[in-house]
A and B are shown apart, each in its own frame.
Chain A
Amino acid sequence: QSALTQPVSVSGSPGQSITISCTGTAKDVGGYNYVSWYRHHPGKAPKLMIYDVSNRPSGVSNRFSGSKSGNTASLTISGLQAEDEGDYYCSSYTSFSTYVFGTGTKVTVL
Chain B
Amino acid sequence: EVQLEESGGGLVQPGGSLRVSCETSGFSFNDYAMSWVRQAPGKGLEWVSAISFSGGYTYYADSVKGRFTISRDNSKNTLYLQMNSLRAEDTAIYYCAKAGRGTTSVFYMDVWGEGTTVTVSS
* Cβ B115 vs Cβ A43 within 8 A: yes
User: CB-nearest residue of chain A relative to B46?
Assistant: A101
Does A98 make an interface contact (CB < 8 A)?
yes
Does A104 make an interface contact (CB < 8 A)?
yes
Chain B interface helix/strand/loop/mixed: strand
Size bracket of the A interface: 20 to 34
* Cβ B44 vs Cβ A34 within 8 A: no
* Cβ A40 vs Cβ B45 within 8 A: yes
Chain B interfacial residues counted at CB < 8 A: 27
User: CB-nearest residue of chain A relative to B50?
Assistant: A99
* Cβ A99 vs Cβ B106 within 8 A: yes
B residues sitting closer than 8 Å to A (CB atoms) are: 35, 37, 39, 44-47, 50, 59-62, 93, 95, 97, 100, 105-115
A residues sitting closer than 8 Å to B (CB atoms) are: 1, 3, 34, 36, 38, 40, 42-48, 51-52, 57, 87, 89, 91, 93, 97-104
